[in-house]
Amino acid sequence: MHLNRNLVLTRIGTAALTSLFFYYTFVFINLGTVFWYEASALRELLLVFLFLIFTFWMHDRISTRFNAPPFPKLPASIYASLEAASVIAGSLFLCLLLVYLPTHLLLPSAEVLPLRVRLGFVVGAIISLFFYYLVERERKVKQLQEEHLRAEQLQKETYRAQLEALKNQVNPHFLFNSLNVLNSLIYVDQDRAAAFLSQLSEVYRSLLDSSGKQLVPLKKELELVQAYIHLLKTRFGANVQFLVEVPDAYRQLELPPTAVQMLLENAIKHNGYTSQKPLQISIFVADGKLVVKNNLQPRLDEVKSTRIGLKNIGTRYSYLTGQEVEVTQTEQDFIVRLPLLKVV
């Protein structure tokens, strides 16, 4: 709000100063002096001021339109020609509507020479083009700087998430428990031991493959999730139950890497589970979003929640899209909804 007010005041000031400059430039060219005053001069000055105010407003509309599909996909020469033609056509229309028609109506007795009319249209078009491309250049430079900053911040958050995921998978507890399970399986069921080892390596491979990526297809994320679920099922048995139902139509959409795996890990970390009261985790799609839902069964030895994982996921989404991660907690369930992004 404060920024918009400053922008409006800046444009009013620019329009006022530009009106004075050009008006008295014409006075000097025609009369050889700037020390000249007539009541009609104030009317003409006001009309020029209104022309500039509406020109700035028109520039915003043109800029918004030309930055929306399908214009950015046009060849550069066609894009530039259409943009310039729109600015010139708009300025000529405003000159006619806000300067010459009012002048003719307010000052019917005033003689307006054809040369002056043509000169006025040309100067109006030049002023309009000058301000449009001056403002557009500044806007695009600022937009580029913001995009670079967002990209850098997103890259940092992505690396942080992937480092955290790798750290969690190679921490002594996880590694010790995984090797313990593997050791016990070797003597009981070598086929299951081989499958466990295969899925353990798949978890690490998926984490390393997504290293440095800002987005991955849901299909790839689910491959990591399925490998991780296999490890959890082998370790916890029927104490933890999973239901994954994601239609193929959604599997090419994208999301930040390790987001779902982090949510599974979060559910395991903060909930208790037994064969009589299993932890139930569901992954499905609703309203175009990926939903990760688990029943709430707080651990007896309560683990303090820092919500670092959820915060990281939310931060990464904020750099990628205007859609937010939705977190809902009821008396029975904990639900996270992740937007699925379509990358053009």
Q: Above pLDDT 90, what percent of the chain? A: 26
Q: Is the pLDDT of residue 3 over 50?
A: no
The per-residue pLDDT for 1 is 46
Query: If you average pLDDT over residues 37-64, what whole number do you get?
Result: 81
How many Cβ atoms from other residues are within 10 Å of residue 65's Cβ?
Answer: 11
The per-residue pLDDT for 192 is 87
In the chain, count of helices (H) and strands (E)?
10, 7
Tokens of 290: 């990926």
Domains of the chain with bracketed CATH: 2-149 (no CATH), 171-339 (3.30.565)
For residues 171-187, one letter each, b for 16 or more C-beta atoms within 10 angstroms of the residue's C-beta and e for the rest, the string is: eeebeeebeebbeebee
Name which of 14-18, 101-105, 245-249 the model is least confident about: 101-105
How far apart are alpha carbons 333 and 331 in whole angstroms?
6
The per-residue pLDDT for 121 is 79
The per-residue pLDDT for 255 is 94
Q: Is the pLDDT of residue 8 over 90?
A: no
User: Which amino acid would we find at residue 209?
Assistant: D
- Could you report the per-residue pLDDT of 151-161, keeping only the tens digit for each? 777 777 766 66
The per-residue pLDDT for 337 is 97
Parallel, antiparallel, or unpaired: how do β-strands 289-295 and 326-329 relate?
unpaired
How far apart are alpha carbons 321 and 134 in whole angstroms?
29
Q: Which of 270, 344, 253 is nearest to 309 (CA)?
A: 270
Band of residue 170 on the pLDDT scale cut at 50, 70, 90? very low
The per-residue pLDDT for 322 is 82
> Is the full-model pTM beyond 0.95?
no
Q: Above pLDDT 70, what percent of the chain? A: 83
| Residue count (the chain) | 344
How far apart are alpha carbons 71 and 76 in whole angstroms?
10
User: Which amino acid would we find at residue 104?
Assistant: H
Q: Which residue did the predictor score with more confidence, 171 or 143?
A: 143
Reduce the DSSP state of residue 293 to 3 states and report it: strand
Q: Is the pLDDT of residue 132 over 70?
A: yes
How far apart are alpha carbons 114 and 81 in whole angstroms?
28
- Could you report the per-residue pLDDT of 194-253, keeping only the tens digit for each? 998 898 888 878 877 877 788 899 999 999 999 989 989 998 999 999 999 999 999 999
- Could you report the per-residue pLDDT of 107-130, keeping only the tens digit for each? 555 555 566 667 777 888 888 888
Q: Which of 306, 222, 243 is nearest to 269 (CA)?
A: 306
- Could you report the per-residue pLDDT of 282-339, keeping only the tens digit for each? 999 999 999 999 999 988 776 565 567 788 888 888 878 888 999 999 999 999 999 9
Q: Is the pLDDT of residue 139 over 90?
A: no
Q: What is the mean pLDDT of the chain?
A: 81
What angle, rounded to 10 degrees, do the helices at 114-170 and 2-31 form? 150
Q: Is the pLDDT of residue 183 over 60?
A: yes
